Amino acid sequence: MMRRFVIVGHKANTDGNFKLNDMAGGAGRLDVLLRCINSAFFLSHSIRRDVEVYLVLLGPSKPPVTIRLSGSEIRYLNPDERSTGSLIRNALLKAKDDKEVSSSPGIYVSRRGLEDVMKVLADTEIVYLHESGTGMENTEFGMETDLTFVLGDHMDLTEEEENIILKYNPIKVSLGPEILHADHCIVVSHNILDRKRKVKGK
């Protein structure tokens, strides 16, 4: 069963023109997305190979861009944000059109937006993460079904983005009453799924 995380980077840079020491500023809160990558893939001594991350980047100067990271193929991913920032900048510099190109092993880039990404993931179970949803602990997931979690970065999804997601009949799921950082949402989601899987002996 694959776990996918689609994170919308509302202000994140799309032309690769930023400095690695300014990822929380000039790069449009790219730091948030880099922490999401860490949370999605890293275990203490290994990488979750059954995970894919889609970063949908909407900031200046050439939006939209989608960067897909595939856990089964990825190489050169380290826990520090700076080296991952460099992989993302390299991907942005290779974005051409709506066809995916590989920028490094396991990292793909295209000029696609949220609507295009959702079309690709339409046959997975869509989980829209929002604090007003129903509790994830009590949500029954098909444990053999691929799951796609959709979440905002430092900003919530806009109404327009929410309307795109709603076309795919998502389940709206909450991780608790407090508003969490996006990367923490990913850690908590993994943890709940890990424990659900363990109970079912998978």
Ligand X SMILES: C[S@@+](CC[C@H](N)C(=O)[O-])C[C@H]1O[C@@H](n2cnc3c(N)ncnc32)[C@H](O)[C@@H]1O
Nearest approach, Cβ of residue 32 and ligand X (Å): 8
Q: Closer to ligand X by CB, 101 or 155: give it.
A: 155
As a whole number of Å, the CA-based R_g of the chain is 16
Least distance to ligand X, CB of residue 134, Å: 10
- Kindly state whether residue 129 participates in binding ligand X, applying the rule CB under 6 A: yes
Compute CA 98 distance to the chain's CA centroid, rounded to the nearest angstrom: 19
| Residue 176 touches ligand X, criterion: CB under 6 A | yes
The span from the CA of 78 to the CA of 37, in Å, is 10
Output the smallest distance, CB 6 to ligand X, in A.
Answer: 10
Which residue has the closest beta carbon to ligand X? 152
Q: Interface mask (CB under 6 A) for ligand X, residues 154-173, using x and -?
A: xxxx----------------
Which residues make Cβ contacts (< 8 Å) with residue 162, sequence separation at least 6?
A: 128
Please list the residues that pair with 51 across neighbouring strands.
3
Residues 6 or more apart from 51 whose CB is under 8 A from it? 2, 3, 4, 5, 40, 41, 71
Which CB sits closer to ligand X, 34 or 109? 34
Nearer to ligand X, 142 or 177 (CB): 177
In order, the DSSP letters of 41-63 are HB-SSSB-TTEEEEEEE--SSS-
* 4, 68, 89, 130: residue in contact with ligand X (rule CB under 6 A): 130
Contacts to ligand X by CB under 6 A:
129-131, 151-152, 154-157, 174-176, 178-182, 185
